[in-house]
Amino acid sequence: MLHDVFARVGGPSVEMTTVDTMVKINSGNVIIDGNWLWRADHDVDGIVADSRNPVKTGLEVNGDNVIGYGLACEHTLGNLLEWNGENGRVYFYQSELPYDVDHTYGDNGFAGYVVNDDV
C-alpha cells in the first residue's frame, strides 16, 4: 500500500527546488490511494513561473498489477504520470497541467497520463 502521501516540490519559500520524479513504483501488486503529487504552483511571492521548481514527472509506475484508487499529479514540466507496468488500473485520477509553459509543452508530446506503447 502507498496511501495518504503528499509530495510537494517547491514551497512557501522562494528558494529553488528540483527533482526528476516525485514517486517511482518499481514493485508489483501495489495499491495507491489518497496520493497528491504536486509541483507547487505558488509560493509566498505568488504564482510560480518560468519553470521554477522543475519536476519532470509526478508518478512513474514500473511494476505490474498496480492499482490506483485516489491519485493526483499536478503541474510537472514533463508527463505528469508515466505508466510502464502491465495489468494496471486507475479508478480516480486528477491532473492539472502546468501554468507556466508555452506551446512547446504540447509540441514535445507531454501529457497528463501516458501509458507506454509496450504496455
Nearest CA to 96 among 117, 116, 81, 115? 81
Under DSSP, the state recorded for 31 is E
Which H/E stretch holds residue 56? strand 55-61
Under DSSP, the state recorded for 77 is S
Name the active-site residue from 74, 82, 86, 96: 96
Dist. CA 56–CA 23, nearest whole Å: 11
Dist. CA 24–CA 18, nearest whole Å: 16
Does residue 96 carry a catalytic annotation?
Answer: yes
Residues marked as catalytic: 96
